Amino acid sequence: MAKTPAQRIKKHGSKAAVPQHHLPPVINPTTGRSPQKARNNSNLIVIAGVVVSLFLFWYVHLLTLDQLRDVSGELAMPDSLVGGFDTAYVGELHAAMNDDARGQLNYVHKTAGTLFPLIFGFTWLLLIGTNVARKAVRWALWAVPLLFVVVRLWGNVAIDAALAAGTPDAGQVALASGLTVAGWVLFVLSLLAGAAAVFLGKKPAAGPATAAPPQ
């Protein structure tokens, strides 16, 4: 029966021959995920997010909200009014739309009207995070799409609340109008922030400084 290493050391002392045990080699010591590959994967997600965002923007603003004009006496939905709206307009829109029509607008807000800012915001966060290395600049650019998501979702709720009242409340209408205008401004600023991130991502990195030649 073979002796254990401890038994050999006990019997022979420092002259004991103790076999060396080696761990089995790692079959795959690396994941093979290079920074360039990770960046390419992020770019694919960004491209997919941009495509989905464009589709949802078209679906919400250029298709669905435009179709709702058929049930509002050709009055535009508040979401489409870049310059905002007043109490008189909301009162006129409320009178032109019945409960079913207002329910359709509320349904749009809860479905595609919610998905659009969320997917757009996530895509722009990833776009900026992939292209901007400096932490301070990255957070400054991130703030714009984050604010857009919050303002846009809040605006959906505020518009539904303003339209639900038979007699529009001036405070509710002012809030809904302000959020609508702010949402469009932040949307444009988000597009500019994304363009700035892409520009910063394409700037060549500064090369190492060359040493001065010996005198």
| Complete DSSP assignment for 40-97 | HHHHHHHHHHHHHHHHHHIIIIIIIHHHGGGGTTTPPPGGG-TT---HHHHHHHHHHS
Amino acid identity, residue 133? A
* pLDDT for the residue 165: 86
List Cα–Cα distances, 138 to 1, 46, 120, 201, in angstroms: 67, 16, 17, 11
pTM for the whole thing?
0.78
Per-domain residue ranges of the chain: 37-201
pLDDT one-digit tens code per residue, 57-73? 999 999 999 999 999 99
> CB of 177 within 8 A of CB of 84?
yes
pLDDT tens, position by position, 136-147 = 999 999 999 999
The number of beta carbons lying within 10 Å of the beta carbon of residue 141 is 26
How many Å apart are CA 133 and CA 25, to the nearest integer? 37
Report the C-alpha gap between 200 and 159 in whole angstroms. Answer: 37
Least confident piece of the model among 12-21, 138-147, 161-170, 204-213: 204-213
Residue 207 has pLDDT above 50, yes or no: no
